[in-house]
Chains A and B, each alone.
Chain A
């Protein structure tokens, strides 16, 4: 297995910059996800690693080998990069059987027939498709095609596995299951994987690290929990779920003993404590992020959290697994995810509270 290194990688289309100075190091055996809305440059980045696009700036290395260096005009074509790739459409060749599809990378490399047979069957066994080997490939369902595509990508033990939204064409239930299966397989084989998706839940469940991209640039790189709980800026914060983002002013700032700082902030009609990654001067404008699932609704006047707002319930929607409650406060309407068992009357005055660990401040 090999690492992947991107140094100052850019891709221009005429005057448009699709990928802008991306630096990223993927360790051997690591599962890294490129996450972002469509048009953020994540797929272009993946295709540059695959050698399907030429980077117009910077250098890409796989393991110790440089595969593309735009300054030196050096470029290794796709077929010599020893990669496995799963395409969004799966790209299962319709004129071949399942076996032929998976055998393709080996036959191209002129492996002996016995070896081809063994390895293809092994790969198909990995994805639990061995009984379908002789099926013509158009006769497969979406989930089966996806498994075949993974088997094909793994069959010749590539240095790196690239995946371009491989789960997006599956239905929701199958998506979760295939995702979990795939993550288990990746950890068992210890294969380096670079994965592209626009689905945040998928990115968090699968990856060792998530790379959030926007407008061709990397916004933040980190473990899923890190990015979810401690985003570096408002854009990343807003990307996951529907957090409450409140404007506030810093009143006081001190180290909390760990790696973070504890802030006292004041907003319109509320005040309290929260955490931040960096030291902030007094009077600085910040955005405080509080996730709906970390907010609690209490009876009016009952304060036992580090942060609290008072207001009245304006809307309550039963969603099965939880209940979405909208609380109108002087600052703004807060979105709270409460237990579906809780019963809230519309118009009732309440207090909304959150612990200090649940509130995270970023500079505006």
Chain B
């Protein structure tokens, strides 16, 4: 068992280099050389993914011509965005985001309370159903609602006219209300997911002691429960508001036809819908919205400073459950209704649309399987499926790997430069997909000729990795925080090297979080539209882009077919994920 060879002192004196106290020589002693190289590589990768497109965005906003053409530096871009019209766009963006955040938060709190703190029947199943809309790409629900609530031929309005004899439509999705309504469908499950664990983990003794002090149930809720939840509520509000400003799909589908513009659609339009794309305008606007996001993020930090989210004590207590009596069926019905509206209705519409010859004409003799045949015979569709799958698998794996490494270095080591890579990985958090897309557009165009990334699926892959990194870092940071340092150190003391410890202890313990993050990232990539639509080219379309093109051509029937396929994929993936997590939990 002589595995180690500790050298006696005389031996060291001859061979060990004498080290001065400066960082440079220290960095090059022993294994530190590899650490230094590793850090440099990591900084280069993150720099390419985040700093480079950001720098190109700035360059583009100051340069008069598209990349590769002779031009001059000027401030015309910024001058051109300073218009009263854009003031309305800004007001629209902020107003719509606020208008969707407030009702979303209210409903999400109510749903979280029902699931976590009441005796509503089938709470476990309801939780799965309520969160499902979060995993459905918004582009699908947008298209489904475009058909459902179309003022002329939408099913809802047809049923309304038939039932009441009215001539005016009941709802018109192409309106402010429509945009907000569609955003809410995504926001509510997102906020629910964000808050439900906080509701569940709250120590019931905090509430019970308030009751013991003589406070009523209602006073307790107001003075204890709500105030304890305040940090979570505030951060949920901010997060939802920021996400609202970044949203693209809702405003694209329901806002533009009605002449309602928000910043993201304005950027999109200035590149894609003008006779000559106005790149300088687009990049200037992108940079301006980043400034806005930056201010919002600072505000979020300022509001949450020093506030702890920790109501979890780690002790295994059961949260006290409120007994609702017969009212529990009302709360049950509310949850089911939510599921019906956000999932069953859109899926039903897609099925309806896929089996009838023309969208809007639902009679028996119009039934057909023609659309399925067309879609399956379409090579572009299969290419998009392949692209989406390749991008999803590679993208999710690469994003999570990068996130795992960055999080490890920033949480578990004291290495020089760990704060730098942490901030770099966090940068895309402030960049809406549309803005990052514009940045990468520029970034790829400025690359020297021998690196032909632009126009390939690798362009999309890089953008997806950049967009997903902040979330993957966060997921892995949470996972590492839960693992005590002792587990790692114990392995080192008992003879394992750093690499062995990583593989046998850290990877083995952190992989459930990795898997959860992987699925999240995969869904994120499948959902992604705003960066894809700028960066795709013929041959590298994703499913979302193909859907978008078919929709633009008025081919709602084939959209329905592809939409159904994607829905199926989402449900299968979600089911696999849930049963996999359950298996993990029961195993422990």
Contact = CB atoms under 8 A, between A and B. Distances in A.
Interface of A: 50-52, 61-62, 64-67, 69, 72-85, 87-91, 93-95, 104-105, 108-109, 136, 138, 152-153, 156-157, 162
A80 B4 CA distance: 5
Given A138-B588, A157-B1, A79 B487 contact: no
Interface stretch (B10-18, B386-394, B539-547): B10-18
Given A85-B490, A138-B588, A95 B18 contact: no
Contacts of A62: 6
B508 interface: yes
B6 A81 contact: yes
A136 B29 CA distance: 41
Contacts of B487: 91, 93
Contacts of A82: 3-4, 495
Given A78-B489, A93-B505, A109-B1, A104 B16 contact: no
B486 A91 contact: yes
B509 interface: yes
7 contacts: A50-B489, A66-B7, A79-B496, A93-B490, A104-B491, A108-B491, A136-B588
B273 interface: no
Given A79-B494, A80-B495, 10 more contacts: A52-B492, A64-B8, A73-B29, A82-B4, A83-B493, A85-B489, A85-B493, A105-B495, A108-B495, A162-B493
A88 B494 contact: no
B494 A85 contact: yes
Given A66-B8, A69-B9, A52 B494 contact: no
Given A78-B493, A104-B494, A156-B494, A73 B19 contact: yes
A94 B509 contact: yes
A138 to B, nearest CB: 6
Interface string B228-252: 0000000000000000000000000
Contacts of B26: 73
Nearest to B9: A66
A79 B4 CA distance: 9
Contacts of B508: 93, 95
A85 B490 CA distance: 7
Contact of B509 (A69, A72, A93): A93
B490 A108 contact: no
A61, A72, A153 pick with most chain B CB within 10 angstroms: A72
B500 interface: yes
Contacts of A67: 6
Nearest to B493: A85
B5, B12, B508 pick with most chain A CB within 10 angstroms: B12
Interface string B15-49: 01111000000100110000000000000000000
Given A82-B4, A87-B486, A89-B484, A69 B12 contact: yes
Given A89-B484, A93-B487, A95-B509, A104 B496 contact: yes
B313 interface: no
Contact of A108 (B30, B494, B588): B494
